Amino acid sequence: MAEPILKVNSVTKCFGGLTAVDDVSFNVAKGEIVGLIGPNGAGKTTLFNVISGYYAPTKGNVIFEGNDISGKPPYHLAGVGIGRTFQVVKPFAGLTVLENVTIASFLKHPKKADAVRHAWQVLETTGLADRANVSAAGLTLAGRKRLEISKALALEPSFLLLDEVVAGLNPTEADRTVELIMKLKAQGLTILIVEHIMRVIMNISDRLVVLNFGKKIAEGTPSEVSSDPHVVQAYFGEEAA
């Protein structure tokens, strides 16, 4: 395996008495797509929020490109190359699609004209260029999910966290998004993705990390994981295992 770009070391996150993420460790190698799966409430989004700086871990740490980033604010992490999307999409509803992406482009292109030019390029890539002048509030769910990806890409990240960018899309839209993710991988982007749709996650991931009740219960290639008794039990119950 290539050198890890991201190391999650024994991360625990508690909210009061609830342990949402419990002593989870795994690595992500450069250029890899790692899928993070688990039943509802397993702690996937909480772990995402710890990695992207929205929560500080209660215990453990997160190392990105050799630096401890645990507890650093999200805007700092965007600066070091971590882009993320939100499961509950966060468009700037009162602004146009182009303006939304331009704001993200400011990170690497401080001049407005350069940022706008770069935003256009991103929208061409993600297939939203036709909707550039539409208010973000006027996009369909599929459009808003693409906007999330566009904004994250406009940061020109080296590591991308995708939180359920396929869920809720129809099969055609889902295929287009998968195609886009594969293109990004081909460019050398490292991706950590949370997704519920097994057809998608099994196909695109190099490796999977499975969470249940905040704990890591399995890790490995999609075929290894899908035959793991712990995973089968978590998804289908005691008897199936």
List residues binding other proteins (CB under 8 A): 1-2, 29-32, 52-54, 73-75, 78-79, 83-84, 86, 90-96, 98-99, 102-104, 106-107, 110-112, 115-118, 120-122, 124-125, 129, 132-133, 135, 151-158, 183-184, 187-189
Q: How far is the CB of 63 from other proteins (least distance, A)?
A: 18
Q: Say which DSSP state 164 is in.
A: S
The answer to whether the CB of 48 falls within 8 A of the CB of 37 is no
> 10 or 133, CB closer to other proteins?
133
> 52 or 212, CB closer to other proteins?
52
Q: In what side-by-side order are the strands of the sheet with 207-212?
A: 82-84, 159-163, 190-194, 33-37, 207-212, 215-220
- Phi-psi sector, 23: left (phi>0), alpha (psi -120 to 50), beta: left
Q: How far is the CB of 96 from other proteins (least distance, A)?
A: 8
> 144 or 217, CB closer to other proteins?
144
Q: How far is the CB of 108 from other proteins (least distance, A)?
A: 9
> 112 or 199, CB closer to other proteins?
112
> 154 or 204, CB closer to other proteins?
154
Q: How far is the CB of 221 from other proteins (least distance, A)?
A: 15
The answer to whether the CB of 186 falls within 8 A of the CB of 31 is no
> 101 or 234, CB closer to other proteins?
101
Q: How far is the CB of 239 from other proteins (least distance, A)?
A: 40
> 95 or 232, CB closer to other proteins?
95
Among residues 61, 39, 41, the alpha carbon closest in space to that of 50 is found at 61
The answer to whether the CB of 10 falls within 8 A of the CB of 22 is no
Among residues 74, 104, 77, the alpha carbon closest in space to that of 6 is found at 77
Q: How far is the CB of 92 from other proteins (least distance, A)?
A: 4
Q: How far is the CB of 124 from other proteins (least distance, A)?
A: 4
Look up residue 230 and give its amino acid: H
The answer to whether the CB of 193 falls within 8 A of the CB of 205 is yes
Residues in Cβ contact with 53 at an 8 Å cutoff, skipping those fewer than 6 apart: 69, 71, 72, 73, 74, 76, 77, 82
